Structure 1
Amino acid sequence: MISRRSMMVGAAAGLAGCSAGPQVYTGPQVTRIQVFKGQRRMQLLHNNALLKEYGFQLGFTPEGHKVHEGDGRTPEGAYLIDRRNPNSRFHLSLGISYPNSNDVAYARSQGLDPGGDIFIHGTPDRWVGQTDWTWGCIAISNDEMDEVYQMVQTGTLVTIYA
């Protein structure tokens, strides 16, 4: 006769076996990210070797360099991934080090706040299929963000081109 305890332990073991658990990236290190705004292509590279490429959505005013908070533009230039947020309201997110000292100086010279909180992030269900809906971030699908989040570490160079 099988005891209730044996059934519970067996059921728990079976459920644990069904869970894939968090994925761990074991491939080549992502040494840099290239973002081509005009082509809507983001590339993850190991040195000069292309590892992965993704399409994306941008801010609601996609052309031009971000100048101030609320302009809906994505910055252009060289930045770093400076933080990781596993609890983002946009699934997962990787912070981009905007604004840099040049961005701050220019915005202040115009009497403006440069803004901040620019990320590569996932896409909430209500925005799936929409075009250029962010406030200046780079949005990819949640499945793609799962992959990118595993591959990219803090300190990775991000170069954003027009």
Structure 2
Amino acid sequence: MRLTTILLALALAFGLAACGSGKFRTYNGPEVTSIQVHKAARKMYLLHNDKVLEQYDIALGFAPIGHKQFEGDGKTPEGAYQINFRNPDSDYHLSLKISYPDENDRAFADEAGKPTGGDIFIHGHSNWKGRNKGDWTAGCIAVTDREMEVIYSMVRVGTIIYILP
């Protein structure tokens, strides 16, 4: 009887572990060849060539109109960048770093004598203690944690991201 109880408990534990939704998912579909962010519409699209694979509602920097120019301006950059780092240990669940600032961004800020800022990511919400509605980031692109798990599984370093007004 005791052995049966132990075996049932182990089977239940393994079964629950298998059903758990860890933050690292697998993706075996078409390659994401680019990402498009449409700031005015608050939408992000993952594309394979010209086919939309996934689309998401997004939150942006707290001052979303216009291109990010300086550290602390609360704007989300605009232009063509790349995903250049995947952060599995993000304070915001998971995150993908965007290659802002580029040479032009740095030159503009240098001429004004101000820092460009940086650390612009696509990320989830975890550990954010503020409100999770509207535009709330410091310039990043935010989605839900569950959506970020899917995005993280699909997008690779080197993927082009077009951030449009």
Separation in structure 2 between the aligned mates of residue 81 and residue 61 of structure 1, nearest angstrom: 22
Partner of 1:42: 44
After TM superposition, the score normalised by the length of structure 1 is 0.91
Give the match's secondary structure for 1:84.
strand
Shift of residue 10, structure 1, vs aligned partner: 4.6
- Indicate the larger mover: 133-142 or 6-15: 6-15
- Amino acid aligned to 1:23: R
What is the CA-CA distance between 1:130 and the residue it aligns to?
Answer: 2.2
In 1, distance between residues paired with 2:6 and 2:94? 34
- SS of the residue aligned with 2:110? helix
Partners of 2:73 and 2:46 lie apart in 1 by: 27
What is the aligned partner in structure 1 of residue 68 from structure 2? 66
Deviation, structure 1 residue 2: 3.6
> Is 2:44–2:56's contact at 8 Å kept on the other side of the alignment?
yes
| Distance (whole Å) between structure 2 residues aligned to residue 143 and residue 128 of structure 1 | 17
Q: Give the distance between the partners of 1:67 and 1:97, measured in 2 at CA.
A: 14
Q: 1:127 to 1:141 in 2, by over 3 A?
A: farther
Cα distance, 1:16 vs structure 2:
1.7
Cα RMSD over matched residues? 1.6
TM-score w.r.t. structure 2 length? 0.90
Residue 156 of structure 1 corresponds to 159
Q: Percent identity?
A: 50
Whole-angstrom CA distance in 2 between matches of 1:108 and 1:55 = 34
Which of 114, 117, 122 matches 1:115? Answer: 117
Alignment length (residue pairs): 160
- 1:73-107 Cα shifts (integer Å, max 9, x gaps): 00000101111111111111100000011110111
AA aligned opposite 2:87: N
Q: 1:141 aligns to what? A: 144
Q: Could you tell me which residue of structure 1 aligns to residue 13 of structure 2?
A: 15
Alpha-carbon contact 2:68-2:76 (below 8 Å) kept: yes
- Give ranges in structure 2 of 5+ residues lacking alignment: none
Report the residue type matching 2:92 in the other structure: F
Q: Which runs of 4+ in 1 moved over 2 A?
A: 6-14, 17-23, 124-130
Residues 25-34 or 127-136, more deviating: 127-136
Hey, what's the Cα distance between the residues in 2 that align with 1:104 and 1:89?
26
What residue is the counterpart of 1:88 in the other structure?
A: 90
Give the partner amino acid of 1:17: G
Q: Structure 1: 5+ residue runs without aligned partners?
A: none
